[in-house]
Amino acid sequence: MNIVAPADPELSSDDRFAGERLKLSPFHPRQAELNIRDAWSAWNGYKFADYYYEATYEYFCIRNTCGTYDICPMQKFLVEGEDALAMLDRMVTRDLTKLRVNRITYCCWCDDTGRMIDDGTIFRLDDNRYMLTCGSPCLAWLAKSALGFDKVTITEHTEQLAGLSLQGPTSFSTLKNMGVGDAVAELKPFGFTRVPFVGTELMISRTGFTGDLGYELWIDAEYALPLWDALYEAGEDYGIQPYGEAATNMARLEAGFIMPYMEFNEAPKTINFEHDQTPLELNLGWLVDFKKPHFNGRRALLEQKQKGTKQLLVKLDIEGNKPAEEAILYDSKGCRNQIGYVTSAMWSPSVKANIALAMIDTKALTGEIWAEIYHYKELRPYRKVAKCKVQDKPFWMPPRARQTPPGEF
């Protein structure tokens, strides 16, 4: 086993606090020009756009034209060597032996008690070469998972590889106008390809976090600005705009995708018992392959499957138009017996519905579900009790999201 961690930068005596400052994405010079509200937050130590102009406007760019979302802060790890597949297959709950070269899979990994560590994607770059991406730093867990595997090298690749998500119905037309349409036309969801670009290689994957047609572009960090410029020139007539975390959260909720620190807590970071979750509780049972002889948490998850989960994450369609943010759920309109809580909620502009993700006691799913919603009107607080209906399918997942080749605009 060989772990290659990022080198610590050398600090001069005049720059003692450099390590405390937020890092800048390779795309930051272009993003700073467009962030007219100067609305920044932080993600994994990077300065990161919450929004550029207005969240709802950026959301409609995703749904009606196309937008770019900076995924440089996403953690990226290269896992290479003869033991790479065996090591990763033991770590994650999904069967990686089925993953072909130039394909990607969504997966999750757990501790020995079956509690979620994180979720992410794994790219099979070659026979013995993989890339894992996830939302939070994971090098320490990868190092623990590699114990006993001598022929594997794990390298953190976050700062070396720039990533830009391009999402929306005109995303394919933009890529075609940029000159890579032939390469991505037959690309199916969770596939990727490589194309030459200004003297280097650009990797394009048909992936995203919006539930719509979209791609993610991966390139060496030093070529980030040429990529941005070429993409924005190609997308000028297709309504291309940058969007931030606020619009991303709206789109991913419509698609029914989970978000760390909203739908689940990472197990190593919780203190209270069962304040973290298992994949089965998060309705991700389809990611857990019990046909595999062994993986982290298998015994605990199998026992939970046999007994049934105490709670389950579900999608809710809620009456009215007041978002049920942080709402408590009850089994009757009288709000006496609490049965769950809302994790994410919004009024969906595209679906024209009041939607939410919620963690609910499994035994209560066959009965009535009511949300106690508090909202403000002209600075005055109001309380409303609204009936909820469980929905099985994503709130938003248009056919174009999977259509191959995609339609042009």
HSE-CB for 313 with a 13 A CA cutoff: 23
Q: What are phi and psi of 48, to 5 degrees?
A: -140, 135
> Encoding tokens for residue 204?
């394009």
CB 291, CB 249: distance < 8 Å:
no
Which H or E run includes 311?
Answer: strand 311-318
Say which residues have a Cβ less than 8 Å from residue 168's Cβ, sequence separation at least 6. Answer: 61, 62, 63, 64, 65, 66, 67, 210, 212, 213, 214, 239
Which residue has tokens 């939607």? Answer: 355
Return d(Cα 139, Cα 5) in angstroms, integer.
8
Based on the number of CB atoms within 10 Å of its own CB, is 252 exposed (0-12), middle (13-18) or buried (19 or more)? buried
> Encoding tokens for residue 180?
């890579």
- 281 assigned ligand-binding residue: no
CB 80, CB 242: distance < 8 Å:
no
Return d(Cα 334, Cα 330) in angstroms, integer.
8
Collapsed DSSP state (helix, strand, coil) of residue 319 = coil
Return d(Cα 62, Cα 167) in angstroms, integer.
6
- Numbered residues of the known binding site: 216
- Numbered residues of the known binding site for substrate: 216
